[in-house]
Amino acid sequence: MFENIDLVALEEEGFIGAIACNTNGSIIDATSDKLEVFGSILGYITQVADMIGEPFGMDSIEEVHFESANVKAACLPQEDEAIGILCNSRANVDQILSELIN
């Protein structure tokens, strides 16, 4: 899934890593083995996003963004899996996501 991306170019933009997991949190693919903790919560984030959206009439949440002082994370729930990326706090997450997905 991530084998055709230019990691060096993305890292210059603030990219830390990306991971794809199935709904129970098992890692499908990752750009680094240092992302295990992120992978273990990615499936849970997908479930929580759906629980938040359901009471408000949303079929599902398409994207979840988290920001801290040092790191930004974006989680994209898919049908049977979820994709998550980590970036530094100054990165343009939308631009990095478009380069990863396209």
**Residue 2 covered by a domain:** no
Indicate the number of domains in the chain: 1
Residue 23, domain member (yes or no): yes
pLDDT digits (tens, 9 = 90+) for 29-64: 999 888 888 877 787 777 787 788 778 887 767 788
CATH number for 25? 3.30.450.30
Give me the pLDDT at residue 35, please: 84
Q: Which helix (H) or strand (E) holds 15?
A: strand 15-22
- How many CB atoms lie under 10 A from the CB of residue 41? 15
What whole-number distance in Å separates Cα of residue 29 and Cα of residue 84? 11
Inside any domain, residue 1: no
Domain assignment of residue 78, given as a range: 7-101
Sheet holding 27-30, edge to edge: 27-30, 15-22, 81-88, 71-77, 64-67
